[in-house]
Amino acid sequence: MVEAAPSILSLQDKDISRRMQTIFKKKKVNIKTNVTIKKIIEAEGSIQAELENGDVLTAEKALISIGRTLNTENLGLEAVGVELGHRGQILVNDRMETNIRSIYAVGDVVMKYQLAHVASAQGIVAAENIMGKDLHQDYTGVPSCIFTSPEVASVGMTEQQAKETGIQVKTGKFNFMANGKASAWVREKAL
Ligand SMILES: Cc1cc2nc3c(=O)[nH]c(=O)nc-3n(C[C@H](O)[C@H](O)[C@H](O)COP(=O)(O)OP(=O)(O)OC[C@H]3O[C@@H](n4cnc5c(N)ncnc54)[C@H](O)[C@@H]3O)c2cc1C
Q: Are 125 and 135 in contact (CB under 8 A)?
A: yes
pLDDT for residue 186: 62
pLDDT for residue 70: 94
Pairing state between β 152-155 and 143-146: antiparallel
Q: Are 156 and 169 in contact (CB under 8 A)?
A: no
pLDDT for residue 144: 93
Atom 39 (ligand 1) nearest CA: 71
Q: Which of these ranges, 12-21, 80-89, 180-189, has the smallest mean pLDDT? A: 180-189
Atom 48 (ligand 1) nearest CA: 71
Pocket flag, ligand 1, residue 75 (CB < 6 Å): yes
pTM of the full structure: 0.86
Q: Which of 63, 72, 115, 145 to mutate to test the pocket of ligand 1 (most atoms within 8 A of CB)?
A: 115
Say how many Å lie between the CA of residue 117 and the centre of ligand 1.
11
Pocket flag, ligand 1, residue 114 (CB < 6 Å): yes
Assess whether pLDDT exceeds 90 at residue 37.
yes
pLDDT for residue 60: 94
Q: Find the mean pLDDT for residues 111-122.
A: 96
**What average pLDDT does the chain have?**
92
Pocket flag, ligand 1, residue 14 (CB < 6 Å): no
Pocket flag, ligand 1, residue 71 (CB < 6 Å): yes
Angstrom distance (rounded) from CA 136 to CA 100: 17
Bridge partners (DSSP) of residue 58 are 48
Q: What are 42-76's pLDDT values in tens digits?
A: 988 899 999 999 999 999 999 998 888 999 999 99
pLDDT for residue 46: 94
Say how many Å lie between the CA of residue 8 and the centre of ligand 1.
24
Q: Give the closest residue to 83 by CA, choosing from 71, 101, 65.
A: 101
pLDDT for residue 179: 84
Assess whether pLDDT exceeds 70 at residue 190.
no
- Residue 36 — very low, low, confident or very high, per pLDDT cuts 50/70/90? very high
Q: What are 123-177's pLDDT values in tens digits?
A: 999 999 999 999 999 999 999 999 998 889 999 999 999 999 999 999 999 887 7
Q: Are 20 and 151 in contact (CB under 8 A)?
A: no
Pocket flag, ligand 1, residue 153 (CB < 6 Å): no
Bridge partners (DSSP) of residue 56 are 50
Pocket flag, ligand 1, residue 119 (CB < 6 Å): yes
Pocket flag, ligand 1, residue 108 (CB < 6 Å): yes
